[in-house]
Structure 1
């Protein structure tokens, strides 16, 4: 089993030859970070006729935007009533409404710009793995249906038909959602942004930021940019000491393991409508199939650095529990990425200094949330109105004990997966 990202290898959208930023440039808005948030910001600004430049330290994409599970999910990680409890009635329902409509924005951009990313619009499935999970899904379904969301609680045969396992007796089907190849979607956003006038540069890390009057000056290894406004779209991949985003999340990780393509006669009853799925375990297992019929399993925690035998053992354990009809299958590759976590499981939007916008803490919902935030940032930069953003722009306090939180999460994830491999947990 090789350590490489399947989405990169199978992307229908080819990589763009964007080149390094060289020399001195001037722009209205500079975006730092070439993931979904940054590219959505650049695309929507350029469509409005605003001069925008984007710089990315690696390729587009190189972070979680091209390495995630590829679920086009609605809402935040926590249920809508919990969001209201954390954020208050007005802001909580604003977040529920805007992020509930986020998949529609993603799919509209895919259609409008002809992005070839193997998108499906058949929904996603949240799977109850035990009685407590049954209750949790019933709670979520009631809250979502009360708000008019098109979700459906599936039972028994209907559930088993869409999942392909006898282990799951209840699942929550969210008709708003779907799946895609995240690498291809991100490349497609870059192509669309460039086509409407955004200037994009790769392998051009920001090495310093300074203020001169009302302008910001950003240096890179081979050039510089002067801009009136900055957008810091680096989230979980923020590492530079000058970048204040690093104080507003604590890093977590996820990994995925993909099989070789499985013949339809063997695996055709597993997620036959190509929904993406995840279960209600304390440390979730995700599962989906790609356009070529691979089974892709994933979970929280680091995969890189762990022995291939450990990841293979974990994948075999999950596959044989849920889909024993496959027998023994061969695992083709594995890969990992980062997640920006926050203590309350909600994102943060802020203006770090006059003219400097930032975001952190997608908590594993980056495809839809990043797309919405990028569009909202563009509107705010154009009009000063933040009502297209899921939350108002604030000045939150930095997160304390970030390293301790991160190591505690990772230690718990590893212990849980070890228990699964040893058949103590399932």
Structure 2
């Protein structure tokens, strides 16, 4: 079947929130807080600062959104990638349970913002499904269920007919339904945060890449090509898209990628049987596959790894393999969009929140949970700046050690992902 696949992101083209138009910085300003980065973390920070009457200026190097905030799967997930007990083991009891509590409530924060500010981002609040693709995966889901239920989370392990009806496939033996979670169009959500922040009084500039930061007395001066912002506090919200050597965030994550393909809109009984509750889903594979539908009925498949630079025929072959494995009744599917986003990984799969210098706040290492984590980190930063209280942050401010051999971590991950996908295409792994 001839392909219609092209390399562009689906989410901007289906966003009900219109593209914002913000000027480039071409002057010298003085404000309370300068936020660097116009993704979810930066915009949430600016929005929550504006709600508290604190003057904030945000600088974005490109458009809003241009990074992972507008390119991710759009899952509004609770918690981190790893199970609650593993979080405690990695961070210690106090910090681990704090992260579990704050991030467990993060989906509610996202949906509350959407409702309060009328953000048109195709939000669904019917949960997400973690899919057990084999016996070992189902055992892992049972372990997660027990840990989450012990902490009061509303999760249910679906098995047998209930699982097949919820997922639309007989290839999944069990699925963990997390009723706290849901889905959005992430580009529309990010645009909505920008619109709301600006309406509340924050000043936003695009195409204003920061070239450096310098100390100026007890304040900071943030420099761009054509202007500068002098502020009491600076929030560095660049995360996985941190590029400049002077930016200390670079030392605290290694780069990974996640690619996706979206089909043409699907109709018919076979299509309607796939995730009829409109949940987003991902499986327990060593290199996971994500699965969801969009508002127009497209099937979206994704996985860890870089799609950019790979032949479109290779990506189509991978998507066909996954689709035919899980949903053979669909028959041949035309793939319409493909795109890749960056992920900020850490070796222990937990985030880092720190103060690299007095008056500068930073966060990174969301490990693929950017929608919810970025939202609550932004709120937490604003609360800390306003009240001197970091209790709304998932973790207390710390001074973590830089990650060693970051390029080697990135290379190892990408090589492993590519080999796994090649095995799937050859049907050695499925």
If the length of structure 1 is used for normalisation, what is the TM-score?
0.99
1:233 and 2:229 correspond: no
Which runs of structure 1 show a deviation greater than 2 angstroms over 4 or more consecutive aligned residues? none
Within the candidate set 218, 227, 249, 1:245 is matched to 249
Unaligned stretches of 5+ in structure 1? Answer: none
- 2:212 aligned partner: 208
| Matched pairs, number | 426
1:310 and 2:320 correspond: no
Within the candidate set 165, 175, 180, 2:179 is matched to 175
1:115 and 2:116 correspond: no
Separation of aligned partners in 2, 1:218 and 1:279: 43
In the TM superposition, residue 264 of structure 1 has moved relative to its aligned partner by 3.7
If the length of structure 2 is used for normalisation, what is the TM-score?
0.99
- 1:159 aligned partner: 163
In the TM superposition, residue 74 of structure 1 has moved relative to its aligned partner by 0.1
3-state SS of 2:210 partner? coil
Asked if structure 2 preserves the Cα contact closer than 8 Å seen for 1:264 and 1:293, the reply is no
Separation of aligned partners in 1, 2:333 and 2:314: 16
1:419 and 2:418 correspond: no
3-state SS of 1:134 partner? helix
- 1:380 aligned partner: 384
- 2:289 aligned partner: 285
- 1:324 aligned partner: 328
Separation of aligned partners in 2, 1:266 and 1:293: 12
Match runs of 1:339-418 below 5 Å: 339-418=343-422
Query: 1:216-235: CA deviations, max 9, x gaps?
Result: 11111111111110000001
Separation of aligned partners in 1, 2:389 and 2:261: 42
Query: 1:110-135: CA deviations, max 9, x gaps?
Result: 00000000000000000000000010
Separation of aligned partners in 2, 1:95 and 1:141: 17
Query: 1:211-258: CA deviations, max 9, x gaps?
Result: 010111111111111111000000100011110000000000000000
Within the candidate set 22, 34, 38, 1:34 is matched to 38
- 1:6 aligned partner: 10
- 2:86 aligned partner: 82
Separation of aligned partners in 2, 1:236 and 1:303: 17
Separation of aligned partners in 2, 1:134 and 1:263: 31
- 2:57 aligned partner: 53
In the TM superposition, residue 333 of structure 1 has moved relative to its aligned partner by 1.0
Separation of aligned partners in 2, 1:350 and 1:407: 26
In the TM superposition, residue 199 of structure 1 has moved relative to its aligned partner by 0.1
Within the candidate set 4, 16, 21, 1:17 is matched to 21
Separation of aligned partners in 2, 1:6 and 1:54: 26
- 2:300 aligned partner: 296
In the TM superposition, residue 381 of structure 1 has moved relative to its aligned partner by 0.7
Q: State the Cα RMSD in Å.
A: 0.5
1:259 and 2:249 correspond: no
Separation of aligned partners in 2, 1:356 and 1:342: 21
Separation of aligned partners in 2, 1:128 and 1:265: 24
